[in-house]
Amino acid sequence: MVGSQVVDRKVDSVCPFCGVGCLITYNVRAGKIVSVDGRDGPANHGRLCVKGRFGYDYVHHEQRLTRPLIRKAGVPKDDGTAPRPQDWREVFREATWEEALELAAGKLRGLRDQYGPKSLAGFGSAKGSNEEAYLFQKLVRTGFRSNNVDHCTRLCHASSVAALLEGVGSGAVSNQVNDVENADLIIVIGSNPTANHPVAATWMKNAAKRGTKIVLADPRITDLGRHAWRVMQFKADTDVAMLNALIHAVIEEGLANETFVRERTANFEALRENVKGYSPEAMAPICGVPAQVLREVARAYATAKGAMILWGMGVSQHVHGTDNARCLIALASVAGQIGKPGSGLHPLRGQNNVQGASDAGLIPMMFPNYQRVDNAGAREWFQKFWNTPLDDRPGYTVVEIMHKALADDSDPHKIRGMYIMGENPAMSDPDLNHARHALASLEHLVVQDLFMTETAWLADVVLPASAWPEKTGTVSNTDRMVQLGKRAIDPPGDAKPDLWILQEMARRIGLDWNYEGEECGVAAIYDEMRQAMHAAIKGITWERLQRESSVTYPCLSEDDPGQPVVFTESFPTADGRVKLVPADIIPADERPDAQFPYVLITGRQLEHWHTGSMTRRAAVLDAIEPMATASMNGSDMQKLGLQPGDVVTVRSRRGEVAIHLRRDDGTPAGAVFIPFAYYEAAANLMTNPVLDPFGKIPEFKYCAVQVVPGGTP
Ligand code: SF4
């Protein structure tokens, strides 16, 4: 029984939204999910947030795609400049799977054969399973025959991963979230965990109640500020100035952990030399945090018995995102706050499986398990493993692929065809007018999804896929836990499991795959991926996951419980040491000026997930937050003569939205915050596509806008 409802079945799975990875049970009656319970998983201990608890009914929404669709002959692709048709039937016709797959794969194969492997690209999904991510990248690498494969990690933590791989030799977290309970102090920077990782935030709040000091460092004062010991509301874009000031104070005040620095770091002298000019007193006017607070925080962090740093996209989504993360690595290292329980680095991963999709090789420069494609040894291993020649050059990243779709016809690397599985770049990419134009310009676009997303509207073929509760598979959360979800219900109509679609596409592209077994051979695919991941998940067998649901990696053997804390003895770098990389201030690409005087900060909110394709079709979540709002500080609203609820037009050099206003005094004066989940006021119409040079991540957290009263939302 669930409340007064009798259920037919209870099926164990994992929440499909954020990277916390709460374990859940679906309660099913008459083939429908009627409620969700939290399970006693290692990341959640029975807790769920509003999305996990109430965000399940999107799977039963009347707008689910149930038949393959083919664009009608002669219907042009609208790149977003014309009003969207009321009904997809004006644009698409229904087709059989045979016809749709033949067209989808046949045209991609034809483009590859006519223009070469570089003419194709694929976006996989961090919302799919590890097995789907693994098969998708394998399809692109062996079927399209290039490394033009990427996914939304490029829009999320790519710069953090670039800095971590360079500095500590591994892109994953060093300590799990609930290790904050072993810390005396935690720094939460560029992250709003009560909205974006709500159950992770409960561990932080619990720790604070027991005496752990929380330092919240963010341009916006968010809810966690209520629990913080110190709030450092630094000016957006001044992360490096603030963090170098902390490093300076630790070193100058003699608080560096000399043993750790001597035995476990490299390049310390260069770092020390670099931060000499970054005293707290010199940086205070730049970053807006008083020098005394910077010194207080530096002292408390360096002298804590255990201290963790957790960060989000406020750190990563800048042109200096990699430098921001380099500074965090350096701060932890000089203080010796890494490599033991309660001391470490944790980039809070966004999507439920962004960690796993990256591990599985859904990135253009790496095979599974972060083996570089331009490393001859790694390539040779995968060539043998997959029995096919492989491209030796990294492929293009998400935003680069959009540029290449609009390249001149004479460009041999012009992208002409794409296969997009479960991502929505027509909402999630920066500078949407450009991105939508690029997608509309493709000669052939295949989209595999649950709904007619903004991207699917631009497709030639739409393949109706399965939602997470409709399939069995594994996902890997922010804590490096590989977790199993089991199929609870069947997909609606003619919609198919993604693993089935991928294998049908592969066969028609000319690949000879043979994965046998239940649920489209998911166990066999997992086992192949496990081999491709080498030691990392060697001890996590499919059978073990059936028994245990969740196992942490690295896990070297079947009786290894997994390692919740890593780097305890050495770092997986060439010399076993952390490489300290000095960073200097690089300004945001587009700063406010007289014409565009405000800073636009984009992000997420508690109730809606990313581009909103799922949560905006979940009744409870949509009822709580039914429409887009822009948040501004009360002082700015007064200056502009605005009241909460008024409509304003927010405009950048690239696009504009008309949107209702919400007062939020946690938003700094001079800035406006807009969540990117709403297609009717798409924040990314305005964002700047300029990239961090290392992680190739766009500067979503900073561009110049004007705010003008009025407009039609
Ligand atoms: Fe799901 Fe994340 Fe909420 Fe947990 S915290 S219930 S994983 S959205």
The answer to whether residues 391 and 118 touch, using CB atoms and an 8 Å cutoff, is no
Could you identify the atom of ligand 1 that is nearest to the CA of residue 199?
5
Ramachandran sector of residue 688 (left: φ over 0; alpha: ψ -120 to 50; beta: rest): beta
The answer to whether residues 688 and 699 touch, using CB atoms and an 8 Å cutoff, is yes
How far away, in angstroms, is 605 Cα from ligand 1 center?
13
Could you identify the atom of ligand 1 that is nearest to the CA of residue 477?
7
Pairing between β-strand 371-372 and β-strand 366-367 as defined by DSSP bridges:
antiparallel
Could you identify the atom of ligand 1 that is nearest to the CA of residue 49?
3
SS3 221: coil
Pairing between β-strand 265-266 and β-strand 578-579 as defined by DSSP bridges:
parallel
Mutate to test the pocket of ligand 1, among 13, 14, 17, 50 (most ligand atoms within 8 A of CB): 17
How far away, in angstroms, is 197 Cα from ligand 1 center?
7
**Average pLDDT of the residues of the chain:** 96
Residue 1 has pLDDT above 90, yes or no: no
Mutate to test the pocket of ligand 1, among 24, 51, 355 (most ligand atoms within 8 A of CB): 51
How far away, in angstroms, is 13 Cα from ligand 1 center?
12
- Residue 377 dihedral angles phi and psi, to the nearest 5°: -65, -45
**What is the DSSP-derived secondary structure letter of residue 370?**
G
The CA-atom distances, in angstroms, between 405 and each of 383, 415, 509, 597 are 28, 5, 21, 33
The answer to whether residues 369 and 361 touch, using CB atoms and an 8 Å cutoff, is yes
Residue 80 has pLDDT above 80, yes or no: no
Counting residues of the chain whose pLDDT is more than 70, the rounded percentage is 98
Could you identify the atom of ligand 1 that is nearest to the CA of residue 48?
6
SS3 475: strand
Could you identify the atom of ligand 1 that is nearest to the CA of residue 44?
4
DSSP string of 20-47, one letter each residue: T--EEEEEEETTEEEEEEE---TTTTT-
The answer to whether residues 542 and 523 touch, using CB atoms and an 8 Å cutoff, is yes
Instruction: Report the distance separating Cα 315 and Cα 318, nearest Å.
Output: 7
The CA-atom distances, in angstroms, between 693 and each of 159, 163, 320, 462 are 9, 12, 8, 34
Instruction: Report the distance separating Cα 490 and Cα 441, nearest Å.
Output: 35
The answer to whether residues 243 and 327 touch, using CB atoms and an 8 Å cutoff, is yes
Of all protein residues, whose CA lies closest to atom 2 belonging to ligand 1? 18
- Looking at residue 83, its pLDDT comes to 61
Of all protein residues, whose CA lies closest to atom 1 belonging to ligand 1? 52
- Looking at residue 389, its pLDDT comes to 97
Instruction: Report the distance separating Cα 699 and Cα 676, nearest Å.
Output: 14
The answer to whether residues 699 and 682 touch, using CB atoms and an 8 Å cutoff, is no
Residue 443 has pLDDT above 80, yes or no: yes
The answer to whether residues 633 and 669 touch, using CB atoms and an 8 Å cutoff, is yes
Tokens of 77: 């692709």
Instruction: Report the distance separating Cα 529 and Cα 547, nearest Å.
Output: 19
- Looking at residue 51, its pLDDT comes to 98
- Average pLDDT for 493-503: 98
Nearest to 428 by CA among 402, 404, 450: 402
The answer to whether residues 441 and 406 touch, using CB atoms and an 8 Å cutoff, is yes
In the chain, helix, strand, coil percent, each to 5?
A: 35, 20, 45
Residue 310 has pLDDT above 90, yes or no: yes
How far away, in angstroms, is 203 Cα from ligand 1 center?
13
Number of CB atoms found within 10 A of residue 413's CB: 16
Secondary structure of 550-608 in the HEC alphabet?
Answer: EEECCCCCCCCCCCCCCCCCCCCCCCCCEECCCCCCCCCCCCCCCCCCEEEEEECCCCC
Residue 314 has pLDDT above 90, yes or no: yes
- Average pLDDT for 312-322: 96
The answer to whether residues 381 and 532 touch, using CB atoms and an 8 Å cutoff, is no
SS3 341: coil
Could you identify the atom of ligand 1 that is nearest to the CA of residue 197?
5
Nearest to 108 by CA among 79, 137, 144: 144
E-assigned strands of 72-173?
92-94, 120-123, 149-150
Instruction: Report the distance separating Cα 293 and Cα 284, nearest Å.
Output: 9
- Average pLDDT for 48-60: 98
How far away, in angstroms, is 17 Cα from ligand 1 center?
6
Mutate to test the pocket of ligand 1, among 13, 14, 15, 194 (most ligand atoms within 8 A of CB): 15
Residue 115 has pLDDT above 90, yes or no: yes
H or E segment and range at residue 325: helix 321-334
Of all protein residues, whose CA lies closest to atom 4 belonging to ligand 1? 22
Of all protein residues, whose CA lies closest to atom 6 belonging to ligand 1? 52
How far away, in angstroms, is 195 Cα from ligand 1 center?
10
Residue 4 has pLDDT above 60, yes or no: no
Determine whether 524 is exposed, middle or buried from the number of CB atoms within 10 Å of its CB (0-12, 13-18, 19+). middle
How far away, in angstroms, is 86 Cα from ligand 1 center?
33
The answer to whether residues 365 and 372 touch, using CB atoms and an 8 Å cutoff, is yes
Residue 78 has pLDDT above 90, yes or no: no
**What is the DSSP-derived secondary structure letter of residue 494?**
T
Instruction: Report the distance separating Cα 399 and Cα 273, nearest Å.
Output: 36
Instruction: Report the distance separating Cα 116 and Cα 104, nearest Å.
Output: 17
- Looking at residue 689, its pLDDT comes to 96
Instruction: Report the distance separating Cα 261 and Cα 343, nearest Å.
Output: 15
- Looking at residue 86, its pLDDT comes to 75
Q: pLDDT (tens digit, 9 = 90+) per residue, 529-574?
A: 999 998 889 999 999 999 999 999 999 999 999 999 999 999 999 9
Number of CB atoms found within 10 A of residue 531's CB: 11
Ligand 1 pocket by Cβ (under 6 Å): 15, 17-18, 20-22, 44, 48-49, 51-52, 197-199
Of all protein residues, whose CA lies closest to atom 3 belonging to ligand 1? 49
Instruction: Report the distance separating Cα 562 and Cα 566, nearest Å.
Output: 10
Mutate to test the pocket of ligand 1, among 20, 45, 191, 478 (most ligand atoms within 8 A of CB): 20
Distance between alpha carbon 94 and the CA centroid of its chain, in Å?
Answer: 33
Q: pLDDT (tens digit, 9 = 90+) per residue, 174-198?
A: 999 999 999 999 999 999 999 999 9
- Looking at residue 81, its pLDDT comes to 59
- Looking at residue 5, its pLDDT comes to 66
Q: pLDDT (tens digit, 9 = 90+) per residue, 334-348?
A: 999 999 999 999 999
**What is the DSSP-derived secondary structure letter of residue 459?**
-
Helix 498-509, helix 130-139: angle, nearest 10 = 10
Secondary structure of 230-265 in the HEC alphabet?
Answer: EEECCCCCCHHHHHHHHHHHHHHCCCCCHHHHHHHE
How far away, in angstroms, is 38 Cα from ligand 1 center?
10
Instruction: Report the distance separating Cα 631 and Cα 644, nearest Å.
Output: 9
- Looking at residue 82, its pLDDT comes to 60
- Average pLDDT for 452-477: 97
How far away, in angstroms, is 234 Cα from ligand 1 center?
28
How far away, in angstroms, is 153 Cα from ligand 1 center?
18
How far away, in angstroms, is 677 Cα from ligand 1 center?
17
Residue 705 has pLDDT above 90, yes or no: yes
- Residue 428 dihedral angles phi and psi, to the nearest 5°: -95, -15
Q: Which residues of 681-691 are buried (b: 16+ CB within 10 A; e: fewer)?
A: bbbbbbbbbbb
How far away, in angstroms, is 21 Cα from ligand 1 center?
6
Number of CB atoms found within 10 A of residue 522's CB: 24
- Average pLDDT for 418-443: 96
How far away, in angstroms, is 53 Cα from ligand 1 center?
8
- Looking at residue 446, its pLDDT comes to 98
Could you identify the atom of ligand 1 that is nearest to the CA of residue 21?
7
How far away, in angstroms, is 707 Cα from ligand 1 center?
34
Distance between alpha carbon 595 and the CA centroid of its chain, in Å?
Answer: 32
